[in-house]
Structure 1
Amino acid sequence: MKPTLETKRLKLIPFELNDLEMLHETFTDSFVRRYLWDNEIIGIEQTREILTTNEELFESNHWGLWKIIVKENNTFAGFAGLWVFFGEDQPQLLYGLRPEMTGKGYATEASSSVIDYAFNRLEFNYLIAACDAPHYTSRKVCERLQMKLVEEREVNGKMTTFYRIDDHG
């Protein structure tokens, strides 16, 4: 069974293939893609591949991307989860919100739930989150999550900041 996570205001449900249009619309939104996709508009087939991989990851590793649903009105707010970047062995924390859902604390709340899941259910010893250096809002989320800035380096021609949190359980 795929894990569903809950917070006071949010429900995090693993994405499924039938979420294709919703996720693709989010990935191609100008606000989201600016930092997530380096402003590239990805094709729907790439989103389909991500969803297929996501289902495989949940099946084999019990982690992936969750859709963030606001309980109060059952509204889709964005995504949070764990994903492998930069060829690393362990997945990183990832989150993104639809523009109208920002400024409400949802990214921090959802990410905190994912962090707890990673430490308490998956038994991770640490978790990394990387974001484009100029993405100050995302950096503030990492800081609110008690993640520490550990490195800033150029990745694929862009300055990237790396935050880390160690098992706090």
Structure 2
Amino acid sequence: MKIVAETERLILREIQLTDVDGIFELDADPEVHRYLGNKPVTGKDQVVTQINAIRQQYINNGIGRWAIIDRKTGGFIGWTGLKFVTELINNHRNYYDLGYRLIRRYWGRGIATETAHVSLQYAFNKINVNEVYAMADCENVASNRILQKVGLNYIETFDLEGIKHNWYKIEKTGFENKIPDR
């Protein structure tokens, strides 16, 4: 198990097959998938496929989403981090994407903001990327607020599979290495 980063209350580590139950709880919840195309998983076999794909990203790209673990309980909270996107999205390809997804009972505690900031620190200070992008469904007020809070700048609105999304970007030179307000 590779720990990537730690905060006072969280551990960020590589996702493993042992996370199948936590990821199933996360991705089977229709409310979690409300702004993700409304396609919750229906079986743990789908989760195993997801985990294997993420683990392959670690091998292929040296980066992939990370599990968020509660430091006190050891429980799975969700995932966060960077993904190297090779497919064409909004006329961009081969870029680092910031993302996060939490089990619903952990919403509203500043965890997504905290882990997004740590992910940006990792991007700019550890792997030395020059820019990070992110996107959020225009109607997902919470996610749009988080991206702005950690310093990403709104660039434009674009259509992704018939749904309007906001496109964001932050450059290394614009990143302030401070913890944002939760």
TM-score by length of 1: 0.90
Q: Secondary structure of 1:21's partner? A: helix
User: Is the Cα–Cα contact under 8 Å of residues 27 and 42 in structure 1 kept in the other structure?
Assistant: yes
The residue aligned with 1:18 is 18
Shift of 1:86: 5.0
Secondary structure in 2 matching 1:31: coil
Q: 1:41 maps to which residue?
A: 40
Cα deviation for residue 76 of structure 1 reads 2.0
Corresponding residue SS for 1:4: strand
1:155 to 153, 160, 168: 160
Instruction: Deviation per CA, 1:58-105: give whole Å up to 9, x if none.
Output: 234331111111213323221102232753212311101111111111
Question: CA offsets, 1:118-166, max 9 Å, x none?
Answer: 1112211110111101000000100110111011111100000111111
Mapped contact 1:2–1:58 kept (Cα < 8 A):
no
In the superposition, relative to structure 1, how do residues 85 and 33 fare at CA in structure 2: closer, same or farther (>3 Å)?
farther
**Where does structure 1 lack aligned partners over 5 or more consecutive residues?**
none
> In the TM superposition, what is the alpha-carbon distance from 1:3 to its structure 2 partner?
4.5
Aligned residue for 2:145? 140
In the TM superposition, structure 1's runs of 4+ consecutive aligned residues that sit over 4 Å from their partners are none
Alignment of 1:117 with 2:122, yes or no, is yes
Tell me the secondary structure at the aligned position of residue 95 of structure 2: coil
Q: Which residue of structure 2 aligns with residue 9 of structure 1? A: 9
Q: Distance in 1 between matches of 2:46 and 2:86?
A: 16
User: Which residue type is aligned with residue 42 of structure 1?
Assistant: V
CA contact (8 A) 1:10 1:69 kept: yes
Distance in 1 (alpha carbons) for counterparts of 2:153 and 2:87: 19
Partner of 1:68: 68
Q: Which has the higher helix share?
A: 1
1:53 maps to which residue?
53
Distance 2:22 2:105 in 1: 15
**Secondary structure of 1:33's aligned partner:** coil
Q: Distance in 2 between matches of 1:79 and 1:97?
A: 6
Q: Describe the SS at the equivalent of 1:53.
A: helix
Query: Secondary structure at 1:35's aligned position in 2?
Result: coil
Q: Secondary structure at the match of 2:46?
A: helix
Structure 1 residue 110: Cα displacement: 0.7
TM-superposition CA deviations, 1:12-57 (whole Å, max 9, x none): 1111122222212211112211123x11123433322221121122
Matches of 2:104 and 2:68, distance apart in 1 = 13
Q: Which runs of 5+ in 2 are unaligned?
A: 178-182
Q: Alpha carbon RMSD of aligned pairs, Å?
A: 1.9
* DSSP-derived class of the 2:41 partner: coil
Taking a change above 3 Å as real, the CA distance of residues 85 and 153 of structure 1, as seen in their structure-2 partners, is: farther
- The corresponding residue for 2:180 is none
